[in-house]
Amino acid sequence: MSQIPSAADRVYLVTGGNAGIGYFTAEQLAGTGATVVLGSRSVERAEAAMEVIRARVPGARVRSVSLDLADLGSLRGTADSLEVGRLDAVVHNAGVLLEGLERRETRDGNEVHFGTNHLGHFALTHWLLPLLKAAPSARIVTVGSFAAKSERLDLDDLQSRAGYRAKRTYGRSKLAQMYFGLELDRRLRAAGSTVSSVVVHPGGALDSLTPSRPPVHVRKAGAALRGTAAALVLQGKHEGARSAVRAVLDSQIAGGELWGPRVFGLRGQPHHERLWAQLEDAETAQRLWEASTELTGVLHIAGAVEATFGRADAPATRASWGVLPPASTSQVRCR
């Protein structure tokens, strides 16, 4: 896309829009004239991000909404608080990456990476679908990760109870998101919905190659110098956001596609990628969907999209997927 099209009459939601790739996605979408809503756990960080966007994009229409993907019970309230008649796109970008050896859980009793990155977005989509259906051709954009390319899901241990390793669990949670985005599109098409679902990834996006947006992101001179060599194969987060932005704006992109950077999947302009080998496994995607339905309690919504989330009489046996009783919210680092 050589030019960003005008989207002055549209409303976009970016989860985790206060920092990292989410911030740059929001900044670039604000340049279209659309109303951009930043979903964030922190009111202060959301306010800071909106101030920076307004300073860089004259006339930007941005606002925020409280969003805690680790608290499944709060997500209906998040959707209601949007107070819009329709939603033209949602970018499922927010995510957590723990540091350390300790396995942690959300207040709902799910492992933090899987519960926040995947299950939170799965449940949020349920509550957003009526608003997405109200738009002429809405789009759900799920931001995966290049880190997921080398991972495989363990359907017998989605909660990572055995041999927990933070980076592996994070990669698997992002892979689960990507499976979800593809399976969602299959179900939307089967239901005859006008909503489509696209999966993207940012490639290799480093802070050291990302331009400063103080106080949201401050790049020190030393970091910029250290990132010079890496720029041969990687890119900054402002460039990593382009896959998601294009997936929102380009009407020629079809549902069920995967988009990422052109050069080795790590840097460069977004392009249509062939699905990774594991993502072609529709059976795993279906089984993950069934597990996610049970773990979130999301069984159905009324009308034509009922088929999207299963029948009202579907079983909800959380214990069968290894969920413990609700635990207190863990302190995690959000990207």
Report, as residue numbers or ranges, the catalytic residues.
Answer: 170
Query: In this structure, what DSSP letter does residue 297 have?
Result: T
Residue 14, strand partner residues: 38, 91
Phi-psi region of 169 (alpha: psi -120 to 50; beta: other; left: phi over 0): alpha
Residue 106 burial (C-beta neighbours within 10 Å; 0-12, 13-18, 19+): buried
- Positive or negative, the Cα torsion across 30, 61, 139, 170? positive
CA distance 140 to 157: 27
CB 238 within 8 A of CB 124: no
What's at 128, amino acid-wise? L
CA distance 180 to 186: 10
Record the tokens describing residue 202, joined without a space. Answer: 């940012």
Q: Which among 65, 71, 260, 271 has a CA at the least distance from the CA of 178?
A: 260
CB 239 within 8 A of CB 246: no
- Positive or negative, the Cα torsion across 39, 40, 44, 49? negative
Q: Which among 81, 112, 133, 172 has a CA at the least distance from the CA of 309?
A: 133
Render the burial of 133-158: b for 16+ CB within 10 Å, e for the rest: bebeebbbbbbbbbbbbebebeeeeb
Q: Which residue pairs, CB below 8 angstroms and at least 24 apart, start in 269-277?
A: 269/242, 270/200, 270/242, 270/243, 270/246, 275/182, 276/149
CB 320 within 8 A of CB 294: yes
Query: In this structure, what DSSP letter does residue 309 have?
Result: S
Query: Scanning the structure block, which residue is given the tokens 């041999």?
Result: 163
